[in-house]
Amino acid sequence: MESKLRAWESLRNDARQADSAIERQLNVLEGISRFGDNTSSCQFKVTGDGAASSAAQVEMAQREFNRQRNEVETSLQRFESLLETMADTARALPPESTAQNHTERFLQLAADKRRTVARLVADFKRRREWVELMPSVTNDLEAHREGEGVRFLIEEQESLRHTQRRLNTILTQVDTSREQLRGQRDAFTRMEDRAMQIALRVPLIKKVLGRIDSRRRREALILGGVIGACMLLVIFFW
C-alpha cells in the first residue's frame, strides 16, 4: 500500500510540473493569438522593402499559432494520460486517502486548459478575420474619399464658373452705365456752352446772371461768417 502511495505522489509531482509547463505554453499561445492587437507582445513581420504586408503577417501568425497549438495539444495529451494513471492509482488506495480528491482537482485543471485552448482558437480566428477585413475596408474608404474629393472639386469648379459669369454680367452693366453717364455729361456740357453763348449775346441775361452770381457769393460770405462765429462761441464756452 505504501508503494502505491509513493507511486501516486511521484505521479502528482510529475502532474504539477506538467501543469506548470502547459501554463507557460498557454501564455505563449495567448500572446500569438493576439497578433492583431497593438498591445500584444508578439509582432510578426517579414522583411521586404522595409515592411510586411498584412497577408504575410497573417500567414506567419497562423503558422506560429498552429505550431504552438500542436505543442500545447501534445502536452495536454500527456498530461491527461498521466492523470488517468493517477486516477487508477488513487482508486487502489484506501478511501480515507486524499489522493482521489487531488486527482479530481488535476482533472478539473486539465478540463480548464482544454477550454482555454478552445477560447484562444476562437479568439485567433476572430482576430484573423478582422485583420483580413481591414485592407478591403481601407480600400473602400479610400475610394469613397476619392469620390467625395472629385465631387467636391466639380462643385467648386461649377461655383467658380457661376461666379465668373456673374462678374462678367456686372462688368458689362458697369460699362453700359459708364457710357450712359459719359453721354449725359457731354449733353450737359453742350447745354452749358449754349447757355454761355446765349448769355454773351443777350446783355440783359448776362446782367441777371451776374447779379445771381454776386448774391451767391454774398450769401456764401454771410454763411461763412455765421459758422465762424458759432465755432468761436462753442470754443469759448467749452
> Of 122, 124, 115, nearest to 44 (Cα)?
124
139 CB neighbour count, 10 Å cutoff: 10
Give the pLDDT score at 200. Answer: 65
Half-sphere exposure of 236 (CA within 13 A, CB side): 6
State the average pLDDT over residues 164-192. 82
Give the pLDDT score at 50. Answer: 36
3-state percent helix, strand, coil for the chain, nearest multiple of 5: 85, 0, 15
214 CB neighbour count, 10 Å cutoff: 10
What's the DSSP call for residue 7? H
pLDDT in tens, 38-87: 434 344 443 344 334 667 777 888 888 889 889 999 989 998 898 888 88
pLDDT confidence of 185, banded at 50, 70, 90? confident
pLDDT in tens, 89-127: 888 777 666 778 888 888 888 899 899 999 888 888 888
Give the pLDDT score at 142. Answer: 58
What pTM value is reported for the model? 0.48
d(CA 30, CA 60): 15
pLDDT in tens, 29-50: 888 887 655 434 344 443 344 3
H helix runs in 34-98, sequence order: 54-91
Give the pLDDT score at 70. Answer: 92
C-alpha cell at 116: 482555454
